[in-house]
Structure 1
């Protein structure tokens, strides 16, 4: 009987063993489509570090804006993002012409009521994506990246002024002017790099880590690997 009890306890121990997963194991690469949630500092550590090269870059190699999620509705990706991010919905006219509406540009905290004064920003700029791995992608994958609505953090509606101030700079060179935007931006930048399997150079990693170890130390990164 004692032997049977010992065997039972051993079996129970083995059954429970998978529950005691080391914290580091949770950061293992995930299968495409599997949602990932990580502390910011851990997510940064998973980004591959590599030198960047802009050789051969042309903006036209990232086709945008395309017909969007629903080609039948007449709205391209730009307008679909505007509709998704409006805090007061605009009127949608023929050809998906947008009038009225209201948006909050989170980079600089500005409210905007004219959609023509907004840019749709690639949180990871196209040139930065090219430098970080997209140069090796197919044209179809670059188009998917440039029109990515599969993650809310990929494309954001912001004032043209803030977007053009940012240009193609990474967090080592530019941060949003609104202090309350900084941690969100760091989270979204990290999520974008992770979602698309892009690398970062050392100065970029260092800049992200400063925030992860300081004012954004309680931030969490959510992303789903791109198909």
Structure 2
């Protein structure tokens, strides 16, 4: 399922800034490559909807998950190694490996929490018709592979782009990334464009 440990060890060996002792984060619910291909075949292909009316505030995110811990802090703890938090649940130390680019970080401020399927993309592929509660659930989903701790500037370069316009810098992560994208779109019954499907098909061919 997704990128293997042996493949990650190869990445670590080739990347001067990584340590082989640190595993890459693995969100829950990532399907196998074959399952992702089947789910992709079941998605509805349609032209992307309008951006009109979109606002990130329509997807309430970083809500309280437990105690003083919000979604961001929950993912930082899930995806990091030896993460220490203060009384407010803010991460004060730890180590994070960004699977998109292989970067390793020891300051939480260098790490963003990526929505694998961006909120804007979701809006244009069906979420504009959802209730606010449904959009909140999507933006804070801890059950499906929709949230991932990654290098901040890599996340910013991705922005709200789909796989037809942006792919992870690490080609070894194509299979996992495409599988996560397909699973999220399948679970939430979101549409995909023809170009999006072609890009996902190409990435899943690397599985």
Q: Tell me the matched-pair count.
A: 176
Alignment counterpart, residue 64 of structure 2, candidates 43, 67, 70: 67
State how 1:195-206 maps to structure 2 within 5 Å.
195-206=187-198
2:163 is equivalent to residue 171 of structure 1:
yes
In structure 2, the CA distance between the partners of 1:36 and 1:209, relative to structure 1 (3 Å rule), is: closer
Kept in 1, the 8 Å contact 2:31–2:183? The answer is no
Residue 36 of structure 2: aligned partner: 40
Aligned match of 2:178 in 151, 167, 186? 186
1:120 is paired with a residue whose SS is strand
For structure 2, list consecutive stretches of 5 or more residues without a partner in the other structure. Answer: 1-29
In structure 2, distance between residues paired with 1:211 and 1:168: 19
Q: Flag structure 1 segments of 5+ consecutive residues without an equivalent.
A: 1-34, 217-227
> How much does 1:36 deviate?
7.8
Of 105, 110, 114, the residue aligned with 1:121 is: 114
Using the TM superposition, give the Cα deviation of residue 55 of structure 1 relative to its aligned residue in structure 2, in angstroms.
Answer: 1.9
Aligned to 2:206: 215
CA offset digits 1:2-24 (Å, max 9, x no partner) = xxxxxxxxxxxxxxxxxxxxxxx
The match for 1:150 among 143, 147, 150 is 143
Query: When the two structures are superposed, what TM-score results if normalisation uses the length of structure 2?
Result: 0.81
Contact map agreement 2:31 2:180 (CA 8 A) in 1: no
TM-score, normalised via structure 1 length: 0.74
Alignment pair present for 1:76 and 2:70: yes
Which portions of structure 1, spanning 4 or more consecutive aligned residues, are displaced by more than 4 angstroms? 35-38
Aligned-partner SS, 1:108: coil
RMSD: 1.6
